[in-house]
């Protein structure tokens, strides 16, 4: 017996040379390999460990890449990447110029469809399957692997509802581990749980009611059972559905036991599984915790406050309020559209609703923001977490479009706090009662201020602040990127040349201050951590045009391209908005 099978597998063809009896060993090796790399390089752990057997089985049974395989979300595709030619570069996972943390078409022919946001796999695979039918290829297989959290999102339902009336050669595999990033919720999850607990899966089976050939549930870690069933399904034409049960984090005890923490645990000891503790003493807080702890504090005093998250209670730190006030804080699952309109409904009844959605995921509920919230001018409080560059999650997850896509909506207030204190105070201000909906956008990660829990102060809607006076150039920043400006101004020669204004409100604009600035300065620089095209800088450019000001305006921010993964600082460098680039830019500006 070969002592290391994995190192000889450079593609699925190699895999398919193995005897079926060798596959459990390969599964063990693949699991060890994932653990070994992720322990050191960080990344998503639990999801990939849970599908090791399924990954091997699929590439073993199907003729990838001719048969197409789409991983929903893609957190779970590490094993897939390692088996499809990326074993030796897997240590570059999620790094600048390395491989993406998600399947990506430009990276490999085995990545049939790029993913990152949830619930797209069924639609994409169905599109491919219909195309195959039209091309007369009835042998090709089209497989979507989707988790129980993702399948409960509306988009997945739309895909199933269409697929059920086609003759498309589509196999949907439900990877049911009862958890997304946080535990799954909702009625469908309840049904799936009942099935696992012995309920007849055929009774009131939603999948069957959608006209699918349903099979399962089977144990997703029994590789022989999975292979046998996949081989059977390979011969079944039309849309079919396989329900497999897996354990997130399978094979690493701590990861199985604490699935939320081990979703993406950071560095850990590969042999013991122990997470390597980082000292958090005297560090400034995460913006997420500023949100979560402030909301908890406000909710204690204001019983009308409600918190909503679509499937991110841990990531957003809404968990604090959920623990303290479970009846007033809701995880609605991966259902951004529902989350927004649910919030709107609650606000009509006088509730004060904080709807916390990652900036990139609010794209999923854009119509609901316009049609259900802004059009009715309902003061929903949107907390847009992970706005701006998010770092290692890369192109699918950067929250860089929000200023541009929200700014054109009438009635919206848009605010990006400069720091933790401003975030805290705008949360306080919003729950006092606003006349309009507000979007509060703040970044992933830690802020600047260790002692952030100061007495609340009300923020005047639509006011900007002068952070520093100066004589030649006015720098207008929006949000936390303003801290880079402050740091750069500490480095430049002749800082007295530069005035710095914090324009936290992109809408409404502080027009009084802008009139002063444009009357005073001939050179104006705007900076934001969102797309330049249509964002904050554009607001300033529009103001100047509308008012006939002729000052020169330079707009800094994210260029008109999709940015890949990297650390936030690396990506800021790429955009020339990191402290060092800004320092040189500002100094060159005056030469």
Q: Which of residues 327-356 bind a copy of itself (CB under 8 A)?
A: 327-328, 330, 332-333, 335, 337-338, 341-351
Give bridge partners of residue 71 from the DSSP assignment.
Answer: 145
Q: What residues between 224 and 263 interact with a copy of itself by CB under 8 A?
A: none
DSSP string, 391-404: STT-TTT-B-SHHH
Looking at beta carbons only, is 190 or 458 nearer to a copy of itself?
190
Which positions from 179 to 208 touch a copy of itself by CB under 8 A, shown as an x/- string?
A: ------xxxx-xx----------xxxxx-x
Q: Which of 17, 209, 302, 584 binds a copy of itself (CB under 8 A)?
A: 209
Which positions from 68 to 107 touch a copy of itself by CB under 8 A, shown as an x/- string?
A: -------------------------------------x--
Contacts of 323 (CB under 8 A, 6+ apart): none
Helix (H) or strand (E) holding 473: strand 473-477
Q: Which of 236, 450, 490, 552 binds a copy of itself (CB under 8 A)?
A: 552
- Verify cis geometry, omega within 30 degrees of 0, for the bond prior to 217: yes
Q: Which of 125, 179, 527, 571 binds a copy of itself (CB under 8 A)?
A: 125
Q: Which of 26, 242, 427, 553 binds a copy of itself (CB under 8 A)?
A: 553
Looking at beta carbons only, is 198 or 548 nearer to a copy of itself?
548
Looking at beta carbons only, is 152 or 430 nearer to a copy of itself?
152
Q: What residues between 291 and 330 interact with a copy of itself by CB under 8 A?
A: 306, 327-328, 330
CB of 267 to a copy of itself, least distance (A): 29
CB under 8 A, 24+ apart: contacts of 17-21: 18/60, 20/60, 20/224, 20/227
Helix (H) or strand (E) holding 254: helix 253-257
Residue 116 lies near a copy of itself (rule: CB under 8 A): yes
Which positions from 428 to 467 touch a copy of itself by CB under 8 A, shown as an x/- string?
A: ----------------------------------------
Q: What tokens does 32 get?
A: 């060890």
CB of 212 to a copy of itself, least distance (A): 8
Contacts of 272 (CB under 8 A, 6+ apart): none
Looking at beta carbons only, is 288 or 341 nearer to a copy of itself?
341
Looking at beta carbons only, is 241 or 428 nearer to a copy of itself?
241
In the 3-class helix/strand/coil scheme, how is 178-232 assigned residue by residue?
Answer: CECCCECCCHHHHHHHHHHCCCCCCCCCHHHHCCCEEEEEEECCCHHHHHHHHHH
Q: Which of 534, 570, 580, 587 binds a copy of itself (CB under 8 A)?
A: 534
Residue 548 lies near a copy of itself (rule: CB under 8 A): yes
Backbone angles phi, psi at 305, to 5 degrees: -70, 135
How many CB atoms are closer than 10 A to CB 48? 28
Q: What tokens does 505 get?
A: 């409100």
Residue 128 lies near a copy of itself (rule: CB under 8 A): yes
Give catalytic residues, as residue numbers. 248, 336, 364
- Residue whose C-alpha is closest to residue 198's, from 249, 258, 256, 245: 245
Q: Is the dihedral of CA 517, 518, 520, 526 positive or negative?
A: positive
Options 39-47, 153-161, 262-270, 478-486: segment touching a copy of itself (CB under 8 A): 153-161
Give bridge partners of residue 215 from the DSSP assignment.
Answer: 242
Looking at beta carbons only, is 76 or 123 nearer to a copy of itself?
123
Looking at beta carbons only, is 152 or 383 nearer to a copy of itself?
152
Q: What tokens does 291 get?
A: 């949100």
- Cα gap 51→474, rounded to integer Å: 54
Residue 123 lies near a copy of itself (rule: CB under 8 A): yes
DSSP string, 415-458: E--SSHHHHHHHHHHHHT--SS-EEEE--SSB-S-S---PPP-P
Helix (H) or strand (E) holding 124: helix 121-134
- Cα gap 328→299, rounded to integer Å: 9
CB of 469 to a copy of itself, least distance (A): 24
Looking at beta carbons only, is 130 or 244 nearer to a copy of itself?
130
Which positions from 384 to 413 touch a copy of itself by CB under 8 A, shown as an x/- string?
A: -----------xx----x--xx-xxxxx--
Residue 364 lies near a copy of itself (rule: CB under 8 A): yes
Options 77-85, 123-131, 228-236, 496-504: segment touching a copy of itself (CB under 8 A): 123-131
Site size toward a copy of itself, by CB under 8 A: 108
């Amino acid at each position: 017996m070969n002592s290391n099978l994995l190192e000889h597998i450079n593609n699925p063809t190699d895999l398919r040379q193995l005897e079926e009896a060798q596959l459990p060993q390969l599964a063990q090796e693949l699991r060890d390999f994932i653990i070994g790399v992720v322990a050191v390089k960080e990344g998503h752990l639990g999801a990939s460990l849970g599908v090791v057997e399924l990954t091997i089985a699929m590439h073993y049974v199907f003729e990838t890449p001719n048969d197409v395989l789409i991983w929903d979300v893609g957190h779970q595709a590490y094993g897939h990447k390692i088996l499809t030619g990326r074993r030796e570069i897997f240590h570059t996972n999620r790094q600048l110029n390395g491989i993406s943390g998600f399947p990506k078409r430009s990276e490999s022919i085995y990545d049939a469809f790029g993913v990152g946001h949830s619930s797209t796999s069924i639609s994409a695979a169905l599109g491919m399957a219909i195309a195959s039918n039209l091309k007369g290829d009835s042998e090709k297989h089209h497989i979507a692997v989707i988790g129980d959290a993702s399948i409960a999102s509306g988009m997945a339902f739309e895909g199933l509802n269409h697929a059920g009336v086609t003759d498309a050669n589509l196999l949907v595999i439900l990877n049911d581990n009862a958890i997304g990033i946080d535990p799954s919720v909702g009625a469908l999850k309840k049904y799936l749980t009942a099935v696992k607990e012995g309920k007849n899966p055929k009774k009131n089976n939603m999948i069957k009611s959608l006209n699918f050939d349903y099979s399962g549930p089977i144990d997703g870690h029994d590789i022989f059972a999975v292979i046998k069933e996949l081989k059977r399904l390979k011969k079944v034409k039309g849309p079919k559905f396989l329900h497999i049960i897996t354990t997130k984090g399978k094979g690493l005890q701590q990861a199985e036991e604490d699935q939320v923490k081990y979703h993406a645990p950071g560095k850990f000891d590969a042999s013991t599984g122990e997470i390597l503790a980082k000292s958090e003493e005297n560090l400034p807080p995460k913006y997420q915790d500023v949100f979560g702890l402030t909301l908890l504090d406000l909710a204690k005093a204001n019983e009308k406050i409600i918190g909503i998250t679509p499937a991110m209670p841990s990531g957003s730190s809404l968990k604090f309020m959920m623990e303290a006030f479970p009846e007033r804080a809701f995880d609605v699952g991966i259902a951004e559209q529902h989350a927004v309109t649910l919030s709107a409904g609650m606000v009509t009844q006088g509730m004060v609703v904080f709807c916390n959605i990652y900036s990139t995921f609010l794209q999923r509920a854009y119509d609901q923001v316009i049609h259900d919230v802004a059009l009715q001018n309902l003061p929903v409080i949107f907390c847009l977490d992970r706005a701006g560059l998010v770092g290692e999650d890369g192109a699918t997850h950067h929250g860089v479009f929000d200023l541009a896509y929200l700014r054109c909506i009438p009635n919206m207030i848009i605010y990006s706090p400069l720091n933790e204190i401003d975030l805290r105070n705008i949360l306080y201000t919003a729950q006092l009662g606003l006349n309009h909906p507000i979007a509060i956008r703040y970044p992933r990660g830690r802020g600047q201020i260790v002692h952030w829990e100061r007495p609340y102060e009300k923020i005047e809607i639509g006011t900007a602040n002068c952070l520093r006076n100066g004589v030649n150039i006015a720098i207008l920043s929006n949000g936390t990127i303003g801290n880079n400006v402050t740091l750069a101004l500490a480095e430049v020669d002749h800082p007295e040349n530069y005035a710095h204004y914090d324009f936290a409100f992109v809408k409404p604009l502080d027009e009084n201050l802008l009139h002063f600035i444009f009357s005073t300065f001939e050179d104006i620089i705007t900076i934001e951590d969102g797309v330049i095209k249509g964002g904050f800088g554009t607001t300033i450019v529009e103001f100047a045009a509308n008012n006939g000001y002729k000052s020169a305006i330079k707009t800094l921010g994210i260029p008109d391209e999709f940015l890949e993964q990297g650390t936030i600082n690396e990506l800021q460098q790429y955009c020339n908005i990191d402290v060092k680039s800004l320092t040189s830019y500002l100094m060159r500006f005056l030469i």
